[in-house]
């Protein structure tokens, strides 16, 4: 108590005398002098990872505030509006690591938990019926909140377009979220993430049948160069198919069967031309 009163008194006195130091921080057991600043620094945050929760809001918050997993932000499917703005949940400070990515890799960086901000979007994901699999869309109010949140994050941390990814991009052998119904194109139209130019895709397609098969090794090399963890041995095994499917869910949601077709190859080439020439 004496220390607290002394600190208050000292603070008042330094204001009255105009002798306050803005570079010294009293941390109890020592004082940190912050007048010097090293320019050789980098942000912890270099990637933005999108997910879906595969459950409703209440269940999602219960799981993500439990002991096993966590995430920085949760965007409700029906965000409440306060002062004309959508409300999202922040569960973990951006300066701290959340456990949302698991075993992962993107553009040569492993353990994405340590280098990313994770956004969980409340969405049930795939819905399997007798007629086949469908995917729950994101309601317009949720998309608006996702856009505003993501715009803020990529702007503050200067996250490049190719580093705004889905969980399925960084862990294609384990994950399929945020799924083919996620509004990647809408995010791109609002300055978030990557998207190929239609004219460049058509140029690389060069009149080929979009469904015609291409050289597997060449496609593997393009996907690896873009950021995916994938072999470049020319073998179309289950692992490679999952990587191709993840890429297709992100950039060609109408067909994500994992086939190494000409349209997929053209999209990959167009993205490399645009972002990683």
pLDDT of residue 21: 54
pLDDT at 85 > cutoff 90: yes
Per-residue pLDDT tens digits for 115-164: 999 999 999 999 998 888 999 999 999 999 999 999 999 999 999 999 99
- Domain count for the chain, please give it: 3
Among residues 57, 85, 111, 120, which one is catalytic?
120
Could you tell me if 180 and 57 lie in one domain?
Answer: yes
> 64 with 84, same domain?
yes
Residue 19 or 132, more confident: 132
In a domain, 137, yes or no: yes
Please name the residues in contact with 5: beta carbons below 8 A apart, sequence gap of 6 or more: none
On whether residue 163 sits in a domain, the answer given is yes
Same domain (yes/no): 249, 183? no
pLDDT for res 1: 47
* Domain endpoint, select from 148, 166, 189: 189
Residue 8 has pLDDT above 60, yes or no: no
| Boundary of a domain, candidates 169, 189, 209 | 189
* pLDDT of 261 strictly over 50: yes
Lowest mean pLDDT among 27-36, 206-215, 250-259: 27-36
User: Is 38 a domain residue?
Assistant: no
Q: Are residues 116 and 246 in the same domain?
A: no
The verdict on residue 110 lying in a domain is: yes
Domain boundary, last residue among 189, 216, 241:
189
Regarding whether 174 and 104 lie in a shared domain, the answer is yes
CATH of the domain at 202: 1.10.101.10
Q: Are residues 20 and 66 in the same domain?
A: no
Write the burial class of residue 57 (CB in 10 Å: 0-12 exposed, 13-18 middle, 19+ buried): middle
**pLDDT over 90 percentage in the chain:** 88
- 82 with 107, same domain: the answer is yes
Give the residues across from 81 on adjacent strands: 86
Q: Is residue 28 part of a domain?
A: yes
Q: Is 42 among the domain residues?
A: no
Q: What is the pLDDT of residue 132?
A: 86
- H/E stretch holding 265 reads helix 262-275
Residues 262 and 163 occupy one common structural domain: no
- Whether residues 171 and 257 share a domain: the answer is no
CATH number of the domain that residue 108 is part of: 3.40.80.10
207 within domain boundaries: yes
Same domain? For 78 and 162 the reply is yes
Strands 73-75 and 89-90: antiparallel
| 81 has a pLDDT exceeding 90 | yes
Mean pLDDT of 77-102: 97
Please give the residue range of the domain that contains residue 15: 2-33
Task: Tell me, yes or no, whether 232 lies in a domain.
Answer: yes
| For residues 157-175, average pLDDT | 98
DSSP at 261: B
Q: Do 182 and 205 belong together in one domain?
A: no
| Predicted local confidence at residue 2, as pLDDT | 43
Alpha helices in 111-237 (DSSP H): 140-157, 167-170, 184-189, 198-205, 216-226
**Of the candidates 93, 88, 52, 56, which has an alpha carbon nearest to the alpha carbon of residue 72?**
93
The per-residue pLDDT for 42 is 84
Q: Please confirm, yes or no, whether 120 is among the known catalytic residues.
A: yes
User: pLDDT at residue 166 above 60?
Assistant: yes
Same domain, 119 and 20: no
Reported pTM: 0.89
């Amino acid at each position: 108590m004496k220390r607290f009163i002394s600190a208050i008194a000292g603070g008042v006195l330094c204001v009255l005398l105009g002798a306050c130091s803005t570079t010294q921080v009293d941390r109890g057991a020592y004082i940190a002098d912050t007048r010097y600043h090293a320019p050789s620094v980098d942000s912890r945050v270099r990637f933005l990872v999108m997910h879906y929760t595969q459950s409703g809001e209440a269940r999602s918050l219960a799981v993500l505030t439990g002991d096993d997993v966590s995430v920085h932000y949760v965007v409700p499917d029906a965000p409440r509006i306060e002062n004309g703005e959508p409300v999202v949940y922040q569960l973990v400070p951006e300066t701290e690591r959340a456990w949302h990515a698991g075993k992962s890799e993107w553009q040569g960086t492993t353990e994405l938990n340590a280098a990313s901000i994770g956004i969980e979007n409340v969405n049930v994901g795939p819905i399997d019926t007798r007629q086949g699999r469908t995917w729950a869309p994101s309601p317009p109010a949720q998309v608006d909140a996702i856009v505003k949140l993501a715009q803020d994050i990529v702007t503050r941390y200067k996250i490049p377009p190719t580093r705004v990814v889905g969980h399925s991009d960084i862990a294609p052998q384990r994950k399929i979220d945020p799924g083919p119904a996620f509004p990647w194109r809408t995010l791109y139209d609002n300055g978030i993430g990557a998207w190929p130019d239609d004219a460049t895709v058509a140029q690389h397609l060069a009149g080929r049948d979009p469904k015609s098969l291409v050289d597997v090794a060449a496609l593997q090399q393009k996907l690896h160069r873009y950021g995916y963890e994938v072999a470049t041995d020319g073998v179309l095994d289950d692992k490679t198919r999952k990587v191709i499917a993840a890429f297709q869910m992100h950039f060609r949601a109408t067909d994500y069967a994992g086939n190494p077709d000409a349209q997929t190859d053209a999209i990959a080439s167009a993205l490399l031309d645009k972002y990683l020439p």
